[in-house]
Structure 1
């Protein structure tokens, strides 16, 4: 029997497995779609994340960051936010006393780095490619969970960890409810290649139709993020690369260099929050427990905060029975639900304030951006929170 079985070996699931393996537990991992191996000549993936300093510290402690860094990452030290050029806030790493604000990394590479680190542990058993077909559990955390796989195999574990994303199968099989809604806007990620290396700065301009953003990547690559109505993005999705380039030049701030469009994909923006993170035999982490508007790039960083908090509760080696379940509810579920809910509310307020053309709100938000530019202590505190250090 395993101590923990992780369903989903993505970024958060693989990090969870790593931490539990480090602590000496017997860990099983179920992964339906193993990631494509890395090759340096591969073009950048569309799915990427802004990784905070705190998340890097966790990945380094887990032994994964060295493998991620050996592939490709892009650090950034400046962040600019504006609606009008004369009302903007510029954040720099030096404002918070650091060399960099964080990193932009392709999701697959974070996943692969964690998988590479997991190879060092003989207390980890993989089931991949594999998928859960059902689970049996009791109303008591003293009884094990029996997991049935599509192959006909069964896994017995003390705890099943749902790290299987926003449409979590574990959450659904456990009957855990969610609250949330779909936002009016959607977003499109666009990979572009410039003729020169991209500056060490990420920026976001707010418009009544939604933000426009640039995320620097390795070499001459960058990711452009275009928020807009579903109908507008559906029209953009039908454009050729040359036509989409023209649309970008019309709707984005000047990018300062010639570029070509390599790839694009639109995705919906949905807020979800699980009513419980812990029920007998089941633990939810990452997107299985919460999804957030990606305006501030905090999604996966909240997931890594879940991992760090959970590992704090499992560190003493006593991870079974009702006593442990009670400790999880107090020491994991309660603080993480609170922190995640606060961040969701903050992002919703941000979204509402900036995604409209109401004159009073325009005055307010531009005034706030202008004020923040000249308020050192406030800027430093905002930066530390975004970096996961406050």
Structure 2
């Protein structure tokens, strides 16, 4: 029998599996879509994340960061945001006594790094069959697979993303919505290294951003309404290049497009993270507007909080379920909801063209650039280095 069966071996699921196995638990991971192996000659992936220093510390503690770093990462030390260039706000790592704000890393490489670290531990991988159901009876959870095999564990963990099958099987409701904007990610090759600054300019239709990547590569993010994103997606590379040159800030220089993809923006929040025999983590429990790049970092904070529980209380102990509710679910729901609300307020503020609101937000950006202590507090919170307290 397993202590934990994790449905989903992505970034969050693999990191959690690594922590649990290091604590001595018997773990099974159900994952049929294994990532492509790393090859230094590969072009960059479309999907990447801004990894906070707190998340990097977690990856280091788990023994995965050295593998990730050996693939390819892009450190960044400066973030600039503006609507009017004369009223820009710059967040600099040195202002809070750090050398970096974080790293941009391709999602697949984070996943591969965790998988490589897991190779040193006795974990069971289930790659050829999928989860179809579960039954919880008196502290034992029977996990049913589509090949008719049944695994027994103490808890089934849903680390299976925004469309979580575990959440659906547990009949855990969620609240949320799809935003009016969508986004397009465009991987480009520049003529030179993009440097260590990431920037974002706000437009009435949504922000446009540059995320530096390793070498001469970068990712451009274009937010807009669904019709416009669909139209952009249909363009040839040459046509899209011309659109970017016409509508992005004049800070990119010559570039060539490698790949593009569009994605919808959603917010969702599960009513429960914990049920008898079931735990939700990461996107299975919550999704957030990606404006500030906090999605996977919130997932890693879930991992850290859950590992703090399992370090002191075992799943077979009678008090374990209550510990999950009080020491994992309650604080993580509060923190995640606070970040969701902050991003929604930000989204609404910068999607509003009423003249007084427009004037206020520009004043806020300029004011934030001048207000040292508040600016530093915001930056530390975004980096996961501090808790926001009212």
Q: Which residue of 2 aligns with 1:147?
A: 143
Tell me what 1:115 maps to.
Answer: 115
Q: Are residues 4 and 257 of structure 1, via their aligned partners in 2, closer, same or farther at CA, if it must alter by over 3 Å?
A: same
TM-superposed CA distance for 1:225, in Å, is 0.4
Q: Which residue of 2 aligns with 1:70?
A: 70
Deviation string 1:45-87 (CA, Å, 9 cap, x unpaired) is: 0110000000000000000000000000000000000000111
Query: How far, CA to CA, are the matches of 1:130 and 1:247 in structure 2?
Result: 44
**Which residue of structure 1 lines up, in the alignment, with residue 222 of structure 2?**
226
Per-residue CA shift, 1:270-308, capped at 9, x if unaligned?
100000000000000000000000000000000000000
| Equivalent residues in 2 for 1:349-364, closer than 5 Å | 349-364=345-360
Equivalent of 1:282 in 272, 278, 283: 278
CA distance in structure 1 between the partners assigned to 2:173 and 2:316 by the alignment? 24
Residue 130 of structure 1 corresponds to which residue in structure 2? 129
Alpha-carbon distance in structure 2 between the residues aligned to 1:314 and 1:341: 23
User: What is the CA distance between 1:358 and its match in structure 2?
Assistant: 1.3
Counterpart in the other structure of 2:80: 80
Aligned to 1:137, the other structure's residue is in SS state strand
In the alignment, what sits opposite 1:105? 105
* 2:314 matches 1:311: no
**How far off its partner does 1:317 sit?**
4.9
Q: Matched residue pairs, number? A: 386
Long gaps (5+) in structure 1: none
CA contact (8 A) 1:4 1:158 kept: yes
| Structure 1 range deviating more: 147-156 or 95-104 | 147-156
Shift of 1:133: 1.5
- Structure 1's consecutive aligned runs of 4 or more residues displaced over 6 angstroms after TM superposition are none
Matches of 1:179 and 1:371, distance apart in 2? 34
Match of 2:177 in 1: 181
SS at match of 1:185: strand
1:327 aligns with 2:323: yes
Deviation at 1:376, TM superposition (A): 1.2
> Aligned with 1:287: secondary structure?
helix
State yes or no: 1:53 paired with 2:53: yes
Please list the CA deviations of residues 22-48 of structure 1 after superposition, one character each: whole Å capped at 9, or x if unmatched: 100000110020000000111110110
Q: By how many angstroms is 1:323 displaced?
A: 1.2
Distance in 1, matches of 2:251 and 2:379, equals 25
| Structure-to-structure mapping, 1:27-46, within 5 angstroms | 27-46=27-46
Matched with 2:25 is 25
Verify the 8 A CA contact 1:196 1:257 in the aligned structure 2: no
Question: Deviation at 1:130?
Answer: 2.7
Contact kept? 2:139, 2:316, Cα under 8 Å: no
Distance in 1 (CA, whole Å) between partners of 2:202 and 2:216 is 25
Q: SS in structure 1 opposite 2:57? A: helix
| Corresponding position of 2:234 | 238
Normalized against structure 2, the TM-score is what? 0.98
Q: Does 1:198 align with 2:197?
A: no
Counterparts of 1:340 and 1:129 in 2: how far apart (Å)?
Answer: 34
- Contact conserved, 1:79 with 1:201, CA < 8 A, in 2? yes
Shift of 1:322: 3.9
How many angstroms does 1:143 deviate by? 2.2
SS in 2 for 1:86: helix
| TM-score normalised over the length of structure 1 | 0.98
1:171 is aligned, of 162, 167, 173, to 167
Match of 1:384 in 2: 380
- Find the residue that maps to 1:355 and give its secondary structure: coil
Say whether the 8 Å CA contact 1:33–1:129 is kept in structure 2. no
1:355 Cα deviation after fit: 1.2
State the alpha-carbon separation in 2 of the partners of residues 270 and 196 from structure 1. 34
1:22, 1:321 → 2: CA distance? Answer: 19
CA distance in 2, matches of 1:344, 1:27: 31
Matching residue within 359, 363, 370 for 2:366: 370
CA distance in 2, matches of 1:238, 1:88: 33
Partners of 2:268 and 2:59 lie apart in 1 by: 25
